[in-house]
């Protein structure tokens, strides 16, 4: 018996899927039935092995998304190796920390280029394929961007990250407006404080770690796999009438 959350026969691209949130989402999509193109600049053999152990297809596509140069190749390789493209999860991202009075142009550009510029052009490349596929009678496409609590809040000492994730929220809504009637759902997940490499410095800072935990109603840091259910929902037919939404998966952080 199939459910609205069944992704059997679908193909997903997940960027930054070698570890952390990207890996958690890739594994959840595979568990729901999808085949996955695992896009990463670092080795992603573990992710691929776990997906294949579920009986799903998985292919590694090596790409450094600090520039837009590899984007067309990522789409082409996915279509060549896995035969179709139904789902894009834009998870690849970086963070740089410093006081705003000392923040460098290099750190600004590096974060904006990866987190916002490459994300938009990945959406564009996938969207072109999905819109054309839908117009020819194919199924709808699903794009899921990874936003942040800093899509809604300012944060401290991460000016380029805050700017990039605020931009992700805006781009998600803009593309939903443009593509909603063209067979493409564009939404975002805003993870709360998740224990990953990007948050290692916060976890190691005793005072900041305590202040974060004190505010989370769930009483713990999030885990990568906590994002998986939200991704499966937004990638599935259960979300066919969900457009331009930023789904917070935050342990209640924004409710406090």
Phi-psi region of 193 (alpha: psi -120 to 50; beta: other; left: phi over 0): beta
For 49-101, the pLDDT digits (tens) are: 999 999 999 999 999 999 999 999 999 999 999 999 999 999 999 999 999 99
Q: Residue 123 half-sphere exposure, CB side, CA atoms within 13 Å? A: 26
3-state secondary structure (DSSP) of residue 227: helix
> Cα dihedral angle (147, 88, 9, 80), rounded to 10 degrees?
-160
For 93-124, the pLDDT digits (tens) are: 999 999 999 999 999 999 999 999 999 999 99
Query: How much is the mean pLDDT over the chain?
Result: 96
pLDDT at 1 over 60: no
This prediction's pTM: 0.96
Span 33-43, average pLDDT: 96
Integer angstrom CA distances of residue 93 from 96, 126, 217: 11, 18, 26
Do the beta carbons of residue 245 and residue 188 sit within 8 Å?
Answer: yes
- Alpha-carbon distance of 36 to 17, in angstroms, equals 10
pLDDT band, very low/low/confident/very high, at 206 (cuts 50, 70, 90) = very high
Do the beta carbons of residue 222 and residue 251 sit within 8 Å?
Answer: yes
For the purposes of burial, counting CB atoms within 10 Å of the CB of 175, is it exposed (0-12), middle (13-18) or buried (19 or more)? buried
11-249 fold: Rossmann fold (3.40.50)
Q: What are phi and psi for residue 60, nearest 5 degrees? A: -85, 130
- Of the candidates 134, 161, 193, 241, the residue annotated as catalytic is 161
| Domain parsing of the chain, residue ranges | 11-249
- 161 is annotated as an active-site residue: yes
- Alpha-carbon distance of 47 to 21, in angstroms, equals 12
Do the beta carbons of residue 63 and residue 41 sit within 8 Å?
Answer: yes
Distance of CA 19 to the CA centre of its chain: 12
Four-residue CA torsion sign, 95, 166, 19, 68: negative
pLDDT at 11 over 80: yes
pLDDT band, very low/low/confident/very high, at 201 (cuts 50, 70, 90) = confident
């Amino acid at each position: 018996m199939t459910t609205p959350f069944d992704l059997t026969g679908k193909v997903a691209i997940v960027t930054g899927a070698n570890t952390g949130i990207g890996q958690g989402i890739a594994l959840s999509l595979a568990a729901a039935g999808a085949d996955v193109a695992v896009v990463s600049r670092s080795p992603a053999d573990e992710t691929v092995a776990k997906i294949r152990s579920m009986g799903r297809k998985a292919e590694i596509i090596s790409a450094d998304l600090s520039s837009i140069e590899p984007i067309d190749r990522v789409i082409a390789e996915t279509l060549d190796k896995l035969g179709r493209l139904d789902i894009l999860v834009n998870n690849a991202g970086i963070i740089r920390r410093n006081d705003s009075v000392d923040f460098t142009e290099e750190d600004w550009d590096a974060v904006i280029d990866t987190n916002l510029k490459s994300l938009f052009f990945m959406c564009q490349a996938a969207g072109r394929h999905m819109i054309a596929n839908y117009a020819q009678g194919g199924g709808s496409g699903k794009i899921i961007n990874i936003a942040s609590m800093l899509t809604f809040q300012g944060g401290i000492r991460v000016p380029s990250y805050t700017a990039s994730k605020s931009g992700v929220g805006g781009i998600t809504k803009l593309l939903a407006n443009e593509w909603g009637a063209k067979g493409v759902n564009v939404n975002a997940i805003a993870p709360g404080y998740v224990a990953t490499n990007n948050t290692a410095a916060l976890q190691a800072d005793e005072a900041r770690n305590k202040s974060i935990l004190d505010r989370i109603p769930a009483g713990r840091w999030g885990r990568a796999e906590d994002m998986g259910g939200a991704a499966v929902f937004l990638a599935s037919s259960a979300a066919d009438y969900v457009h331009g939404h930023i789904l917070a998966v935050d342990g209640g952080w924004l409710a406090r």
